Chains A and B, each alone.
Chain A
């Protein structure tokens, strides 16, 4: 679980974390706008946890704690929650890293169009 995942490492290095972005644009919201969607994602995943490889609620939180204090120790919350979840899903083979990398590029292209 602690192996580095290059696609996520690149995201960490670009450091577009909410405190930085909020300060840059003078925004006062304490958490990024995607946080509630992430909460919805976690709840929806917990309902599906009986499926093979999907982490249970406790496994998801344990892995988040472990990754947030090691591989992603430099990320603030909730960025560490999001990236740790991505890491868990890739490490468990639920999502393939190449597939994730491709999807990240296509979503960015879509949003910037």
Chain B
């Protein structure tokens, strides 16, 4: 056997070798709820499997396909739930009518040269989970939720997105009945790219609308989570 005659990918990664109070608390709540008949173990398993398999990749593929195929773009804007199936997402999964907190009118907001869309849930943290996965921590915070609707340009600037005055910012509030995601415009210099290349730059932030796609940018912005402080009462 040579020095490199083994599989690096199968090297065991480090793990937390300690039982934490939080791990125990999650099990305790779950077991007690099941024993009290609030939900069944089977219901919990189905919902957990749903949570494990969702992520932003299908949404990125949907936008990339729309950029490459004008007919698919028409479908995505007219019948977004049908278009979602083309990228493997059935909004009715896993209960037959979606998850309890994800029902199910879905709309895709297409940016234009004069309108930029960004999504929020001012009330709680509604998010297009089936196609975009779990929301990032900052999306859940009252800071983002309260401030985006009042000062959208300032909040977008905190993500490094500065929009010219001639571009209108459309803040779309989500709710338990309506979910949205953003279809940005295809950036210059990517005209001959493949779908897989385009998917790399259609990040979660782009799909929320706090970033614009850009060749070479494939990661999300990391923002510090802060409490909401009204400017009138701050310091």
Contact = CB atoms under 8 A, between A and B. Distances in A.
B219 interface: no
Contacts of B52: 36
Interface residues of B, number: 48
Contacts of B140: 77
Q: Which of B25, B51, B142 has the most CB of A within 10 A?
A: B25
Contacts of B21: 10-11, 14, 16, 104
Interface in A59-113: 61-62, 65, 69, 73, 77, 79, 82-83, 85-86, 89, 94-95, 99-100, 103-104, 107-108, 111-112
Interface string B1-39: 000000000000111111111111111111111001011
Contacts of B230: none
A43 B50 contact: yes
Contacts of B176: 57-58
A58 B225 CA distance: 21
Contact of A100 (B32, B45, B142): B32
A45 B15 contact: no
A100 to B, nearest CB: 6
Contact of B100 (A11, A38, A46, A79): A46
A23 to B, nearest CB: 10
Nearest to B227: A69
Question: Chain A: interface secondary structure?
Answer: helix
Contact of B124 (A10, A45, A61, A82): A61
B44 A44 contact: yes
Nearest to B40: A44
A38 B27 CA distance: 9
B152 to A, nearest CB: 21
Contact of A104 (B25, B38, B50, B134): B25
A99 B32 contact: yes
A11 B25 contact: yes
Contacts of A25: 14-18
A52 B147 CA distance: 34
Contact of B32 (A38, A42, A58, A95): A95
A11 B21 CA distance: 6
A36 B52 CA distance: 6
Contacts of B36: 94-95
A4 interface: no
A37 B30 contact: yes
B158 interface: no
Nearest to A28: B13
Interface in A1-55: 10-11, 14, 16-18, 21-22, 24-28, 32-34, 36-49, 51, 54
14 contacts: A21-B18, A24-B16, A24-B18, A25-B18, A38-B26, A39-B47, A41-B29, A41-B33, A43-B99, A44-B47, A46-B101, A69-B142, A82-B26, A103-B28
The 3 closest A-B pairs by CB, nearest first: A40-B48, A39-B51, A40-B47
